[in-house]
A and B are shown apart, each in its own frame.
Chain A
Amino acid sequence: MISDEVKAQMRAIAARYPQPRSAMLPCLHLAQQTEGYITPEGAQAVAQAVGARVDEVESVVSFYSMYTTKPLGAQVIKVCTSVSCYLRGSDALLARLEERLGVKKGQTASDGRFTLDMIECLAACGMAPVLQVNGEFVENVTPERADALLDRLERGEGVGDMGSRWRLTEQGGFTTAGSTTSASGDSGEPAKENS
């Protein structure tokens, strides 16, 4: 359900732009975050907030890959399969996850706990192969780390300290690999998708 409070939030987002229609994408993110996917009611609320017709909202929804019009699992795992991840074993990673979760890419497990999918280049190529869990990065996902991650997720512990932190290497480069402690300025807690 899209509450009056969420509708007010949408109007507040629209006020940040010279033209309210520009708030289309952030309002759709909010609708999806609220209801889990873009419902007819969500599309209607966005249409009202940004001053567009519902069919215009639907046209936008169908263009952008992050929006979904059907419910997903509680934890959405997206594996990058673009070239740098491909070169370092993303296909084997995806196969490993398919095997353990008992679903194929693009599918949601019958208990609704997990959705598994592939995604295009996630801007993490130096830490390949990579995946995201509800938008949170996990990088350098070796088979062992994939198993450890799924163990955590199945226990409902989230990504935790397997999440990414940038650090400076001895060679003067930056990576998130090889360390669980942060030497960089990225101090906060990992992000949840679209929040």
Chain B
Amino acid sequence: MTINAPNTPETQSLPLGPYPRIVTHAFDVPNIDQLEVYRAHGGYEALAKALRDFQPEALAEEVKASGLRGRGGAGFATGVKWGFLPKESARPRYLCVNADESEPGTFKDRMIMEVSPHQVVEGTILAAYATRVRHAFIYIRGELPRAYQQVERAVREAYEAGLLGKNILGSGYDLEITVHPGAGAYICGEESALLESLEGKRGYPRLKPPFPALVGLYGGPTVINNLETVASLPAIVRLGAATYAQYGTEKSKGTRVYCLSGHVERPGNYELPLGTPLRTLIEDFGGGVWQGKKLKAIIPGGSSTNFLTPDQIDTPLDFESILAAGSMLGSAGVVVLDEDTCIVGAVLRMTEFYRDESCGKCTPCREGTYWLVQLLERLEEGHGKESDIDLLNDICDNIAGKSFCPLGDAATSSIVSSIRLWRDEYIHHVRAHACLVGPGANRKRDAAAV
């Protein structure tokens, strides 16, 4: 099957076609994880160009001009974020690349590290150079040993090839990279918890302000960038900011690696320009809802984001459009739910994740997520009361915005949005002691009859 590319004057004039793979452009090249193969396909040319043609500030300006925004979740403009570092500081400054990928529905960073680790290294050097950092860290989720091995090896090879260490490519720029493994804690994807973890402590979030740009790792000014963000930098430098910025929308430039999962025929990672409609991703690329079923719900940006409904399938996948539709683009983990999915069951499963991953520092999140799971369990099993539904909303209201970090807020998204959209289905669980759809519909009705 071929994809029906939009055939408009705008797309025809695009330099790399309407659906270019920019970040993943060489991912189908055999052995692209090897240094010589990566170099044969343009690898480290961006680094050479940057060190030759750009002062650090000019490189940061180029990235600003590309419109690149953080690919971790919040979508903050990368070049602007770098600009928050103070010009001078008493303590050393650091870069931390956040590869603690663990948002349910998200599997792009793991792929980038496993397939193209030298791109990760090159992007890290570019980000460090632009921010005048001399020591960078790549924090890789502990449960991804293959990704860790690949990146660790690439770093070692880069040192041996003179691409890291003292006087990189004869430029006078020095950089050390330390690859660091996590050890199992979703919270360490939150930037201040990541810093605590990197300092050898429990991964508890810090109170902000001060923000890491001023007081970060070891108290020094620190920039934290998502892994896909830094992996985008080589292509931006190689192609030029102007070419990159021709893709996407006015405020959401470039491409993203959309992680498509759930009830679709062809789940996978699809790199598409920002602003590509959900329908194009789900139907043209993903082959539509599996088994010929109808669509029930879409989670557009990982399990921390609000549900969207079938009537919103023409929403463009960019930061502004998804926000206007009532959710967030987040980590671009697009999860599709078919018509036979019990929404209470799915929300229960998502909430269990946040209960288990709450670090326990803040009471509203630690206790609240526990209560939410208890109530959802009761409802799903058919023993709930109608007042439980409002109680869920009430607890969510007492969690959101009342903790150090956004983990608790994230736990409330699926609950509040699902009650708003499918309140009848919650009520059905109370009145019929059974699910409305899915295997729980019959099982529980039978149990109630016994």
- Please determine whether B37 and A175 come into contact, CB atoms closer than 8 angstroms: no
Asked if B243 is an interface residue, CB under 8 A from chain A, the answer is no
Asked if A172 is an interface residue, CB under 8 A from chain B, the answer is yes
CB of A122, distance to nearest CB on chain B (Å)? 6
Q: Which residues of A lie under 8 Å from residue B259 when comparing CB positions?
A: 125-126
Asked if A148 is an interface residue, CB under 8 A from chain B, the answer is no
Asked if B79 is an interface residue, CB under 8 A from chain A, the answer is no
- Please determine whether A29 and B266 come into contact, CB atoms closer than 8 angstroms: no
Q: Which residues of A lie under 8 Å from residue B101 when comparing CB positions?
A: 123
Contact status of A185 and B184, CB under 8 A, knowing A18-B218, A173-B285: no
Asked if B303 is an interface residue, CB under 8 A from chain A, the answer is yes
Contact status of A21 and B30, CB under 8 A, knowing A16-B178, A120-B357: no
CB of B257, distance to nearest CB on chain A (Å)? 8
- Please determine whether A64 and B184 come into contact, CB atoms closer than 8 angstroms: yes
User: A24 — nearest CB in chain B belongs to which residue?
Assistant: B200
The number of chain B residues touching the other chain, given as a range, is 35 or more
CB of B383, distance to nearest CB on chain A (Å)? 20
CB of B350, distance to nearest CB on chain A (Å)? 5
Contact status of A135 and B143, CB under 8 A, knowing A166-B27, A185-B37: yes
- Please determine whether A174 and B269 come into contact, CB atoms closer than 8 angstroms: yes
- Please determine whether B27 and A65 come into contact, CB atoms closer than 8 angstroms: no
Render A123-153 as a binary contact track against B, CB cut-off 8 A, 1 for contact: 1111110001001110000000000000000
A contacts with B, residue count (CB < 8 A): 67
- Please determine whether B107 and A83 come into contact, CB atoms closer than 8 angstroms: no
- Please determine whether A166 and B1 come into contact, CB atoms closer than 8 angstroms: no
Interface-facing stretch out of B108-116, B120-128, B167-175 = B108-116
- Please determine whether B107 and A191 come into contact, CB atoms closer than 8 angstroms: no
CB of A8, distance to nearest CB on chain B (Å)? 19
Partner of B26, one of A28, A185, A190: A185
Query: In the assembly, what is the distance between CA of A121 and CA of B304, in Å?
Result: 13
Q: Which residues of A lie under 8 Å from residue B178 when comparing CB positions?
A: 16-17
CB of B244, distance to nearest CB on chain A (Å)? 19
The B-contacting residues of A in range 16-44, CB under 8 angstroms, are 16-19, 21-26, 28-29
- Please determine whether A128 and B267 come into contact, CB atoms closer than 8 angstroms: yes
- Please determine whether A172 and B285 come into contact, CB atoms closer than 8 angstroms: yes
- Please determine whether B200 and A25 come into contact, CB atoms closer than 8 angstroms: yes
Query: In the assembly, what is the distance between CA of A88 and CA of B28, in Å?
Result: 27
Query: In the assembly, what is the distance between CA of A90 and CA of B163, in Å?
Result: 43
Q: Which residues of B lie under 8 Å from residue A66 when comparing CB positions?
A: 142-143, 183-184
The A-contacting residues of B in range 119-162, CB under 8 angstroms, are 135, 141-146, 148-150
Query: In the assembly, what is the distance between CA of A34 and CA of B413, in Å?
Result: 42
Further pairs besides A21-B199, A66-B183: 5, Cβ < 8 Å: A25-B200, A64-B184, A126-B261, A175-B269, A187-B31
B interface residues (Cβ-Cβ under 8 A, vs A): 1, 3, 19, 21, 24, 26-34, 37, 92, 101-107, 109-111, 114-116, 135, 141-146, 148-150, 178, 180-186, 197-203, 218, 259-263, 266-270, 284-287, 299, 303, 333, 335, 337, 341, 346, 349-350, 353, 356-357, 359
Nearest 8 interchain pairs by C-beta? A185-B32, A24-B200, A65-B184, A64-B183, A173-B268, A125-B261, A66-B184, A191-B146
